[in-house]
Amino acid sequence: MSAADTAAMVLAYPHRAGLPFIVAPAVAGLGFALLWPGFLWLGLAAAAVSAFFFRDPDRVVPQRPGLILAPADGRVVSIAFAAPPAELGLGDEPRTRVATFLSVLDVHVNRAPAAGRVRRIAYRPGAFFNAALDKASEANERNAIAIELPDGRTAAVVQIAGLIARRIVCEAREGETLRAGERIGLIRFGSRVDLYLPEGAAALVCVGQRMVAGETVVADLASSEPARTAEKI
């Protein structure tokens, strides 16, 4: 990534859901500056940190049919066979699940992994374990989205709250038709996003790999390439 690309990502305009977290400390710092000038700098610093966290850079989205893209930035912490969340009504047949952990330094805006119609959205309250742990998929608060693809198969994206995340924002709506890479929401302050691939699809990413939402190709429904393996060298 070039210096210009890095600057564009870091200085990207924030997602609208983050505006209250940016404006409030700035205004508070300005208001309390009369009591102590240092409050102004504390407020501006807090606003800058929030602006960084809620940054929402544009992405270059591959358009070839059949591609399943990363729904979130972050690091792949698990690739396993698991049944989709029961609340989505997709059955209990295991399919490939790719789990991505988002640190507080990652972009937290989530994106649609493929073009399709939102078949169902289901929220479930839960715990707030460390999102990097495998049990977070089942135990933590989550919001699950089932997307019906043009070929009739389904993919599922599950937004999972983490240890310090306490707010899941979902902007998708049931019945809505999404474009691949379209913004569908975000999770505040550290989280996890699970992607359940369509039936029969193999993951073309590996545990430990860095993901870029809307750009990294996770699977290719038009390819018979087997699941990938990797090693650190």
Strands 177-178 and 116-124 turn out to be antiparallel
Q: What angle do CA 47, 20, 118 make, to 5 degrees?
A: 120
Give the integer Cα–Cα distance in Å for 45 and 39: 10
- Report how far apart, in Å, the C-alpha atoms of 6 and of each of 16, 96, 145 are: 21, 32, 31
Give the integer Cα–Cα distance in Å for 190 and 225: 33
Active-site residue numbers? 191
Q: Which residue has the tokens 């700098």?
A: 41
